[in-house]
Chains A and B, each alone.
Chain A
Amino acid sequence: MTNLRMKWAFLVVVLLTASYYLLPTVRYYSMSLEQRDPRVNPGVTGIQKNAMKLGLDLQGGSYLVYEVDIDKIPEELRTGDEIDQVIEVIRNRVDQYGVLEPVIQKQGGNRIVVQLPGLQDPARAKELVGKTARLDFLLVQNAQELFQAMTKVDQVVARRGSEFLKGVLDAETTPPPLGDPLTAVLDDVSPGDTAAADTAGTSLSDTTATAVDPLLAGANPFSTLFQQVDPNSGVVYCPFENYGLARRMLDEVAGNPADGTPAVLAGGTILLWGEREFRGDNENPGRFLYAVTAKAEITGDNIDKAEVQFNLDPTRPNASGVSLTLDKRGAAIFTRLTGNNVGRQLAIVLDNTVESAPVIRDKIRGGKASITGLDDDAEAKDLVIVLKAGALPTDIIPLEERTVGPSLGRDSIEKGVRAALIGGLLVIVIMIIYYRVSGILAVLALTLNLFFLFAVLGALRGTLTLPGIAGIVLTIGIAVDANVLILERIREEFRNGKTVRGAIDTGYSSAFRTIIDSNLTTLISAIVLFQFGTGPIKGFATTLMIGIIANVFTAVFVTRLIYDSILSRWQLKKLSI
């Protein structure tokens, strides 16, 4: 293959690779808001993972930094896990609140960073995050109590009738922006007319989720969303697709667990959700729903010690388990509790979410219990964190908060994109007027530049922020520079009497050094900014860096390739430049 052919082949490969990485971004952002909701379109999570992300300043949301006040805990009681515990608690609550893509991370110096994108009501989220954790041990009821409680929900939902369901369903089919608190929607629903409630015996469906429409006609709008687990236990499973709807219904009837303990439904029973879990072949995690006693006999205060231990189960010696030690009062209650309820499950509930529900195997005296049968090490560790979190005796201090409301976010995107488009257009016009056909080539290089920029952002799963858009605008402005350097040189060589070929050759080679030099210093600034900058500024530095590198590539390699190819085909006596 000739040199030129190889270069073209290389370029094509690069273009194809870039397209591959760019595709998820294009697909994701050309979807309507509805289609982006994973409840409506389960495949979307895969696409979203590979796409470019939007910063909080563009999607709206909160950025919160907290410090865990370790100093408040006397030294001898510190375990080193405190931050993990707080993270677990926060994660739990944020999850309850319904934020779709929260980011909760440790940061040096006892700090935790929480990012909650797409919030409609940032104020509530903040309040939630700051509360003190609560851990309860609640007995799981049996199937009959579960049935009674779920029927109660069915009745209330059915009584509210079509009005209510329509409101909930409407909210389902035109989902509000991601992360909407699940209860906010229901405020608009007025208590419906008094349709006669069909209280005929309901049964728990054990088929996969039924379509939503029949719900309007059915008598068990709530129960049909669930699958049976065990005919004797007070637990049912709600598949991923139905969770949103089921959640809203239950919140409406009993209240959002994030706001406090849900209402008692029947005979001292409350319904609580478990964590996300996979069941069977289901690719998406659903949730278990537990019917538990409302009264907590043992709480987090009663825990003396909780740790991961091996060899607790003689049949699985290498498996990790959790060893739990209760204080004297707790131990006494525990002995009675376990004695009376062998074979039943005991739910370990953190902030109204069931984290784990081990079966009581036998009467436990002395307050020392072991929990076995856990899936793996990680589950054991997590459980210990949960148990300890319930007993965490300290506060978290808010250090920094930045919240962008949804309308400002939308506004910023619109304005940013418009500025970029118009700025780009102006630059293009100037280039073409001044350099004519060669100007068009330069514009082509610029377009490629942007193409690569977004492809790389997608490949790196980078985040686009408002300063990031500014970085793109800046890149457009300075990208032209490399092309200008080359073209000016070529013009000069023409004036000096060189041939077309000669002028191009010299133009490129003499400009090359200068291009590298001049872009390098801006690149240095960008790298420093990336290193020291926070969120939005990092976004700026990222687009600038990628833009500069892509720019050098397109200006030097691509345009040269085009000129060379044209020259090798036709003998040009003069150049439109």
Chain B
Amino acid sequence: MFEIFVGTKFKFMEKRRVAYVISSILVLASLASLIAHGGPKESIDFTGGNLLYIAFDQKVNTSDVRESAERAGLSGSEVQMAQENTQAIIHFRSVEGDTVNSFYAFKTVMEEVASGVTVELMSQETVGPKIGKELEKKAATAILWSLVLILAYVAWRFTRVSFGIGAVAALFHDILIVLGIFSFLEIEVSLTVVAAFLTIGGYSINDTIVVFDRIRENMGQSRRMSFQEIVNKSVNQTLARTVLTSTTTLLAVLSLFLLGGVVIHDFALAMLLGVLVGTYSSIFVASALALDLSSWWVRRRQGQGQGKGKENRLSTKVAAAR
């Protein structure tokens, strides 16, 4: 058999302090960026506004595009060029005067300003303020429900509180870091990006569950190992699967990111980062947290006097390992 990671005995848990440090830095940096920007950068889906995505049959000057947008009455316009100046994305607040159709207005002016250029409509979006607010609410509700349901599931599945918290913490960790990266790169969060985040959430827990399942299985079998050793062993055992699945998912999403085109680009980026961070957190963060929380819990209970329960059985081993 061609195999990787057979009988690996990486001491993951021993290295967990390093992981904690890295994770803390990433999470704090993300938070900092988010706070500095006043939250994630919202697309017109949530803020309301207008967007024109235009293609030209040749390279054009950014200044020509800006001028045309102004003259066409697209007030408050911001122009971004793409595809080596053969495409333009124009954000604007509203249309002035009699202009019925913003695209035609722009097209007429642009064809005058840059004679000989053909202007083609790729896409156009207009979101009224009412709808923007509604979509915001919808997105928030979706996120909330998603979290509630996942939490409920984790709570039901993993009766050990420390597991539950570990899994959820990893989830928040993943989402926060990806959100932070988006915030840092000033990429807009649109409805599809929110969808990507929700999917990352599901996927992240997914990963974590596989490891935790193994831990539980091993706990049932080996009575002689310390909890830390059990966790280590479990992570090692599932390493092959984690890496392989992450690789295939990564390849698939990478393909989407590189080849999928402009429209799906941000979504693919979110998924890509999500898979990377999610894998990292499943190996280094979730289990580590579960381990530490578990021992902390045990020590607390020991401090309060003798108590019964499964936690206790391991407590002496943990104490001995320290």
* A interface, CB within 8 angstroms of B: 57, 65, 122-123, 126-127, 398-405, 407-408, 411-412, 415-416, 418-420, 422-424, 426-427, 430-431, 433-434, 436, 466-467, 469-470, 473-474, 476-478, 480-481, 484-485, 488, 491-492, 494-495, 510, 513-514, 517-526, 528-529, 531-534, 536-537, 540-541, 544, 577
Expressed in whole angstroms, the Cα–Cα distance for A45 and B235 within the complex equals 55
Sample of 16 further A-B pairs with CB below 8 A, known A467-B192, A494-B1, A532-B138: A65-B131, A399-B130, A399-B131, A400-B128, A408-B122, A412-B261, A422-B259, A423-B255, A476-B252, A478-B206, A481-B245, A484-B241, A484-B244, A521-B153, A525-B199, A525-B201
A416 touching B202, Cβ below 8 Å: no
Contact B195 A467 (CB under 8 A): yes
Is the beta-carbon distance between B252 and A122 smaller than 8 angstroms? no
Asked whether A513 lies within 8 Å of B213 as measured between CB atoms, the reply is yes
Say whether B252 contacts A522, CB under 8 Å.
no
B202 partner, pick from A127, A426, A433, A521, beta carbons under 8 A: A521
Chain A residue contacts of B58, Cβ below 8 A: none
- For window 240-291 of B, CB contacts with A under 8 Å fall at 240-241, 244-245, 247-256, 258-261, 263-264, 267-268, 271
Q: In the complex the two chains form, is A477's CB within 8 Å of B248's CB?
A: yes
A-B pairs with lowest CB-CB distance, top 3:
A525-B202, A477-B252, A423-B255
Choose the segment among B14-22, B96-104, B310-318 that binds chain A (4+ C-beta atoms closer than 8 Å): B96-104
Q: State how many angstroms separate the Cβ of A449 from the closest Cβ of chain B.
A: 13
Residues of A within 8 A of B150 (CB): 521, 524-525
Q: Is the CB of A400 within 8 A of B131?
A: yes
A405-B123, A416-B260, A488-B240 as given contacts; A426 in contact with B255, CB under 8 Å: yes
Most chain B CB atoms below 10 A, which of A426, A433, A473, A495: A473
Report the nearest B residue to A537, measured CB to CB: B195
User: Would you call B293 an interface residue if the criterion is a C-beta within 8 Å of the partner chain's C-beta atoms?
Assistant: no
Query: Do the beta carbons of B202 and A524 come within 8 Å of each other?
Result: yes
A123 and B252 in contact, given A474-B199, A478-B203, A478-B245 (Cβ under 8 angstroms): no
Residues in chain B near residue A491, CB distance under 8 A? 1, 3
> Is A514 touching B213 in the complex (CB atoms < 8 A)?
yes
Q: Which of A398, A416, A427 has a CB less than 8 Å from the CB of B248? A: A427
Question: Is A478's CB under 8 angstroms from B264's CB?
Answer: no
Give the complex CA separation of A422 and B3 in angstroms: 25
> Is the beta-carbon distance between B123 and A403 smaller than 8 angstroms?
yes
**Complex contacts, B252 vs chain A, CB 8 Å:** 423-424, 426-427, 473-474, 476-477
Q: Is the CB of B210 within 8 A of A518?
A: yes
Q: How far is the CA of A122 from the CA of B123 in the complex (A)?
A: 10
How near does chain A come to B277, taking the closest CB pair, in angstroms? 16
Contact A532 B210 (CB under 8 A): no
Minimum CB–CB distance for A87 against chain B, Å: 19
Would you give the shortest CB distance from A530 to chain B, in whole angstroms?
10
A-chain residues with CB within 8 Å of residue B191 when the two chains form the complex: 533-534, 536-537
Q: Is the CB of B251 within 8 A of A517?
A: no
> B residues within 8 A CB of A517?
157, 209-210, 213
| Pairs A–B under 8 Å by Cβ, sample size 22 | A65-B131, A399-B131, A401-B124, A405-B123, A412-B261, A416-B264, A419-B260, A423-B255, A427-B252, A430-B248, A467-B192, A470-B268, A481-B249, A491-B1, A514-B209, A517-B213, A519-B206, A521-B205, A524-B149, A525-B146, A525-B150, A532-B138
Q: What is the distance, in angstroms, from B208's C-beta to the closest C-beta of chain A?
A: 9
What separation, in Å, do the CA atoms of A533 and B131 have in the docked complex? 14
The answer, yes or no, to whether B186 is at the interface (CB within 8 Å) is no
The answer to the question of B121 belonging to the interface, with a C-beta cut-off of 8 Å to chain A, is yes
Instruction: State in angstroms the CA–CA spacing of A416 and B261 once bound together.
Output: 7
Q: Is B142 an interface residue (CB 8 A)?
A: yes
Most buried by B among A424, A427, A470, A577: A470
Q: List residues of chain B with CB within 8 A of the CB of A408.
A: 53, 122-123, 263
CB within 8 Å of A: which B79-94 residues: none
Determine whether the beta carbon of B146 is less than 8 Å from that of A422.
no
In the bound complex, CA of A433 to CA of B103 (Å): 51
A473 to B255, CA, bound (A): 9
Provide the bound-state CA to CA distance between A399 and B125, in Å: 11
A491 CB → nearest B CB, Å: 6
Q: Taking the nearest CB of chain A, how far is it from the CB of B268, in angstroms? A: 7
Chain B residues with CB below 8 A from A415, complex form? 259-261, 264
Contact B241 A528 (CB under 8 A): no
- Within 8 Å CB of B2, what residues of A? 433-434, 436
Contacts A398-B128, A430-B251, A522-B203 given: A403-B121 contact, CB under 8 Å? yes
Are B241 and A488 in contact, CB atoms less than 8 angstroms apart? yes
State A532–B134 Cα separation when bound (angstroms): 11
Which residues of B are interface residues toward A (Cβ below 8 A)?
A: 1-3, 6, 53, 55, 100-101, 103-104, 120-128, 130-131, 135, 138-139, 141-142, 145-146, 149-150, 153, 157, 191-192, 195, 198-199, 201-203, 205-207, 209-210, 213-214, 217, 237, 240-241, 244-245, 247-256, 258-261, 263-264, 267-268, 271
- Bound complex: CA A541 to CA B192 (Å): 11
Q: Are A467 and B267 in contact (CB under 8 A)?
A: yes
Residues of A within 8 A of B141 (CB): 532
The answer on a CB contact under 8 Å between B263 and A523 is no
CB <8 Å contact, B241 and A485: yes
Contact of B123 among A398, A404, A480 (CB under 8 A): A404
The CA of A329 and the CA of B131, in the complex, are separated in Å by: 43
B55 touches A529 (CB 8 A): no
Q: In the complex the two chains form, is A473's CB within 8 Å of B142's CB?
A: no
Whether A485 lies near B210 (C-beta < 8 A) is: yes
B-side contacts of A403, CB under 8 Å: 121, 123-125
- Closest chain-B Cβ to A542's Cβ sits at a distance in Å of 12
Residue of B nearest to A524 (CB): B149
List A contacts of B6 (CB < 8 A).
Answer: 495
Q: How far is the CB of B28 from chain A (nearest CB, A)?
A: 26
Complexed CA–CA distance, A525 and B127 (Å): 26
Tell me which residues across on chain B come within 8 A of A401, comparing CB atoms. Answer: 124-126
CB distance from A307 to the nearest CB of B (A): 34
Write out the residue numbers on chain A whose beta carbons fall within 8 Å of the beta carbon of B267: 467, 470
A522 adjacent to B199 (CB under 8 Å):
yes
Is there contact, CB below 8 Å, between B256 and A419? yes
Give the one of B123, B203, B252 with max A CB within 10 A. Answer: B252
* Residues of chain A lying within 8 A (CB to CB) of residue B122: 404-405, 407-408
B207 to A, closest residue via Cβ: A518
Given A484-B245, A494-B1, A526-B202, A419 and B259 contact (CB-CB distance below 8 Å): yes
A contact residues around B120 at 8 Å (CB): 405, 407
Min distance, Cβ B133 to any Cβ of chain A, angstroms: 11
Chain B nearest CB: distance from A445 CB in Å?
13
Complex CA gap A532/B247 in Å reads 30
- Beta-carbon nearest neighbor of B253 in chain A: A477
A398 to chain B, nearest CB (A): 7
CA distance A418 to B206 in the complex (A): 28
CB–CB B251/A427 < 8 A: yes
Cα distance, A422 to B250, chains bound together (Å) = 13
Most B CB within 10 A of own CB, among A57, A401, A411, A518: A518
* With A403-B125, A478-B249, A488-B240: A123-B101 Cβ-Cβ less than 8 Å: yes
Determine if B241 and A123 form an interchain contact, defined as CB atoms under 8 angstroms apart: no
Distance in angstroms from B207 CB to nearest chain A CB is: 7
Q: Which A residue's beta carbon lies closest to that of B206?
A: A518
Measured in the bound complex, the distance between the Cα atoms of B6 and A467 in whole Å is 37
Give the residue of B3, B55, B201, B250 whose beta carbon is less than 8 angstroms from that of A407. B55
Contact B125 A402 (CB under 8 A): yes
CA of A57 to CA of B260 in the docked complex: distance in angstroms?
A: 14
Contacts of A541 in B (CB 8 A): 195
Contact B124 A122 (CB under 8 A): yes
Chain B residues lying within 8 Å of A404, measured Cβ to Cβ, are 122-123
Query: Closest residue of chain A to B129, judged by CB?
Result: A399
Task: Flag if A480 contacts B192 (CB, 8 Å).
Answer: no
Chain A residue nearest to B247 (CB atoms) is: A430
Contact of B146 among A123, A427, A524 (CB under 8 A): A524
CA distance in complex: A123, B247 (Å): 45
Cβ–Cβ < 8 Å partners of A424 in chain B: 252
